Amino acid sequence: MATLAPVPASVGGRYNRNRRGRLAVWWQEIDRGTLILVLVLMAIGAVAVAAGSPASARRLSTAHEKLPELYFFYLHMRWQVLGLGAMFWASSLSKDSARRFGILIGAGMLAALVLVPVIGSEVNGAKRWLRFGISLQPSEFLKCGYPVLLAWILSWRARDPQIPVIAICFVLMAFLGALLMLQPDFGSTMLFSGTFLVLILLSGIDVKRLAMFFGVGLVGLVLMYFTYDNGRNRIDNFLFGGTAFDQVDLAQRTLLNGGWTGLGFWMGTRKMALPEAHTDYIFSVIGEEFGLIACMIIVVLYLTILVRIILRLVEEEDLFTVLAASGFAAQFGGQAFINILVNLQLFPSKGMTLPLISYGGSSTVAMGLCIGLLLAITRRNPFIQRERFSLRAIGDTQ
């Protein structure tokens, strides 16, 4: 009977050293501060979902099936494990590999969005999911590739200024907006449009084209108002009052019910009437149970992440890196602050989750991928960076 020869100790030791070496390089090159802040927000999200889970579990329980009070918390922890795995895997990619993966997933999710109106599953009047044994929301995973795809196209100008990159991006955004409104998903359309605007402003655009973009956007809003009943109702409810406004008003009352220090974990009462306590209105649950000080800390954490990303790009010379990282920052910050403004009754209800904190399946895994790709794209060799600063300092003295 044949026996396997033992692996020489030198080989195993070399493999372990190589693996430790790769981990050390990864740890040195990524933005460790942003990674830590993201992990803190995810930990806050686990506690927040545990606080909001009883309200949603009771609301969704039926006479035939009573959900455990921590039902959504247990599910959220599973999704968080997957999201963490996706984030650490994506962050380990080289910048070139991250660019290729982002372009691939962006193109793939655009193709999936074409299929959604045809074979997608409808939930609460919206057709946003594809089911292939598991439920997939393409618009969530498109967030992982959209900033990379736009940044890649806009960076073509560095190689050939004659390429009409702005026009190509306009066509891409119009195509994406049409696909999203077929679902319909006005919230995601606005978020992607905002990201698009940030990137074309950073890449350089003349006043005429910028005015044309705002004109097209205004026409789109008017068309949405008269053709999309749900969007029109949400705007009317926000401006003049109504059912959706009552939900937002309840969210604000819940948020303020805890005062500065909160009522305590699982002591909230108004949260039990919130329609989506574990997702859309989780910021209000945090306010009631942990207080306005906790809400302020969360806002500061989001702002700190955005500032860290911007500061990391100040000395960056690669156009693609600047655009892609800025796109991720705009997307991340835009989603966070739209959700917070809705809870504060300062913005119409959008059905948008609070990134890294709200419960989610596709959204949690997709957000993990987004953060991982952001960390990979902004990886920086500290030794090369120090050498650049030294050379620059020598040049300044001369």
User: Two tokens at 24?
Assistant: 């050390």
Please report, for residues 58, 62, 345, the alpha-carbon distance to residue 68 in angstroms, rounded to integers and kept in the order given.
Answer: 8, 12, 31
pLDDT band at 239 (very low <50, low <70, confident <90, very high): low
Confidence of residue 345 (pLDDT cuts 50, 70, 90): confident
Confidence of residue 109 (pLDDT cuts 50, 70, 90): very high
pLDDT over 60 (residue 389): no
Tell whether the model's pLDDT for residue 395 goes beyond 60: no
Q: pTM for this one?
A: 0.85
Model confidence at 266: pLDDT above 70: yes
At 2 the pLDDT is 46
- Mean pLDDT, the chain, integer: 83
- Confidence band of 15 (pLDDT split at 50, 70, 90): very low
d(CA 173, CA 38): 29
The answer on pLDDT for 126 being more than 60 is yes
**Choice among 14-18, 71-75, 109-113, 144-148 with the minimum mean pLDDT:** 14-18
Q: Which residue has the tokens 């193109």?
A: 107
Answer whether residue 52 shows pLDDT above 90: yes
Average pLDDT over residues 147-160: 90
Half-sphere exposure of 242 (CA within 13 A, CB side): 13
Confidence tier at 125 by pLDDT (50, 70, 90): low
pLDDT for the residue 201: 87
Question: In sequence order, what are the residues at sequence separation of 6 or more whose Cβ sits closer than 8 angstroms to the Cβ of residue 187?
Answer: 338, 350, 351, 352
338 C-beta neighbours (distance < 10 Å), count: 20
pLDDT at 295 over 70: yes
DSSP states of 100-146: HHHHHHHHHHHHHHHHHHHHPEEETTEEEEEESSSEE-HHHHHHHHH
Please state the rounded mean pLDDT for residues 348-373: 89
Nearest to 335 by CA among 189, 149, 201: 189
Average pLDDT value for residue range 324-351: 89
The 8-class DSSP code of residue 28 comes to: H
Q: Is the pLDDT of residue 143 over 90?
A: yes
pLDDT of residue 226: 67
- Detail the DSSP E strand segments found in 15-125: 121-123
Residues 6 or more apart in contact with residue 38 via CB below 8 angstroms: 87, 305, 356, 371
pLDDT value for 144: 93
pLDDT at 151: 94
Q: Work out the average pLDDT over 361-365.
A: 88
- Is pLDDT of 58 > 70? yes
| Tally of residues, the chain | 398
Q: What is the pLDDT of residue 273?
A: 85
**pLDDT over 70, % of the chain:** 83
